[in-house]
Amino acid sequence: MLQRLTTRQLLVHGIAMALVFAAIVSLRGQTVQAQPTWDSGLLVNTRANLRACMVTSAAMSTHANAIAQQVTRNFEKVRQHKDWEKAGLGRALPAIETGCAGAKAPTQALEKGSIVGPGVTKQPTPFRTVIMVLDDAAADNVLGKGTNAGLFPYELMAVEEHEFVEVTSGLVVREGFLQSADFADPYLSLALGLQPSKSFERPTEIKGEK
């Protein structure tokens, strides 16, 4: 049975529908404010899935895709970690994105406390980890002779006025070391916030010869 509406009822109904539509449009226009989170290994509330970025030193730019495949194979190994899903890293392997905007492989010697990315930010990238692959000559200069990899902050966010937390990890690695079992565990595991299976001192300090 059809219900007859008066002109006034139609007007009120039209206004109500317009207000609802305006509210929906307003909500769609709002962006979620990025915040650090401890509920997920992704570390930022705006990250819905695990994403990783890879850049190389200039000398290896022509075969970045082949290097990305090596990195992917290491992610396959780390995905077997017992805490992978518990950490909120999802079930699927991340797509290794190359040539990510703003990410550059370091060219200067790194030391303890170095930051290999933009540093403190209010709008972190979608990447949980940025992997920087260096050729031997660049690695000798950046990491030091005899040093194959190092972990450094890439992005940080403020949690208090003078307190910051790392929300994106930077992993700087010598290309030849990608084939070593020690790259996946402990280095890549640590870069994803996972406890390595091997007893290992967190490699945040470069100890190689400069």
Partnered with residue 96 across adjacent β-strands are 52
Share of the chain above pLDDT 90, in %: 70
What are the structure tokens assigned to 46, written together? Answer: 């705006």
Strand 52-56, strand 149-160: pairing: unpaired
Q: What is the mean pLDDT of residues 11-17?
A: 48
More confident residue, 6 or 72: 72
Chain centre distance of CA 136: 25
In the chain, % of residues over pLDDT 70: 80
Q: How far is CA 5 from the centre of its chain?
A: 56
Amino acid, res. 157: M
Instruction: Give me the amino acid identity at 79.
Output: R
Alpha carbon distances (Å) from 85 to 10, 96, 130, 208: 53, 19, 20, 34
- Per-residue pLDDT, 199: 66
Residue type at position 178: L
Q: Comparing 16-25, 72-81, 163-172, which segment has the lowest mean pLDDT?
A: 16-25
Per-residue pLDDT at 18: 47
3-class secondary structure, 16: helix
pLDDT score at 99: 83
